[in-house]
A = this chain, B = another copy of it.
């Protein structure tokens, strides 16, 4: 693990700098709590400022920079990706879906504002994200994003996740759920950064493969952390996957094989970067960060 730890340092720095900058953008782009509908705007801001690694904006930016992108419109896409991630968390946490009370150490949106406001604030973040994406003027990027978010992407994973709760599932099923639920939006972040930088189709395909590997690795590590961490460390209920009979890697292949899987995915991701030109050090480091993180 030593090698990973060293590599992850650059990512930690990159993520923290990007988070700081993109959170200023959120404040600028999110509607004001002083304007009607005030409560809805407050709820959107509450969920957007509840913390988080801001991994998706960082991936948009890193891919954009790798392919030599210039200009400020990438910040719209970075903000949009975090809004979409937050939208999915708010709806996932609803009583009728995963029924989670805590997220990032704070009450979830529906706990704080009630269910109706939570549903509408998720909708509002999703729609605002598309408004911001439209400001980039890049319709192709919007199409890619919507595809990765929809029923053949993230929403498909969420649906199967709900359906499989409490059931015995195969590794193939867990792979389907985790690829769709988590990796699809991570892929999308990278592809959109690449698209906005006018990368070639081949380059977009390559960064997408990298995204698939680190996206799956991210979810494998999430599953592992849910088993081995405390609630305090996670900022959400630890051990909740098992309690609910969620489809996870540890539950299907065990902890040790899950760790091996995360490592194998890391190696696949790194190998994919070798085919790309330019300085891939930030993306390499983010891959290392993903498999070594503790929350």
Question: 1/0 contact trace for A271-286 toward B, CB 8 Å?
Answer: 0000000000000000
Q: Which of A96-124 contact B (CB under 8 A)?
A: 96-97, 114-117, 119-120, 122-124
How many copies of this protein are present in the complex? 2
Stretch at the interface among A19-27, A128-136, A245-253: A128-136
Name the residue among A87, A136, A150 with the largest chain B CB count within 10 angstroms.
Answer: A150
Q: Does A239 belong to the interface (CB within 8 Å)?
A: no
Establish whether residues B96 and A160, one from each chain, have CB atoms under 8 Å apart when the complex forms. Answer: no
Evaluate whether A37 and B128 lie within 8 angstroms (CB atoms) in the complex, with A116-B162, A119-B119, A139-B139 already known. no
Q: Does A230 belong to the interface (CB within 8 Å)?
A: no
Contacts of A128 in B (CB 8 A): 146, 150-151
Consensus secondary structure, chain A interface: helix
Interface size class of A (residues with CB under 8 A): 35 or more
Establish whether residues A40 and B159, one from each chain, have CB atoms under 8 Å apart when the complex forms. Answer: yes
Chain B minimum-CB-distance residue to A180: B37
Contacts of A117 in B (CB 8 A): 159, 162
List 23 A-B residue pairs with CB atoms under 8 Å apart, sorted by A's residue number. A36-B160, A36-B176, A37-B160, A37-B163, A40-B151, A40-B159, A87-B123, A91-B120, A94-B119, A96-B116, A116-B162, A120-B155, A122-B123, A126-B127, A127-B146, A128-B146, A128-B150, A130-B130, A130-B146, A134-B139, A134-B140, A138-B139, A139-B142
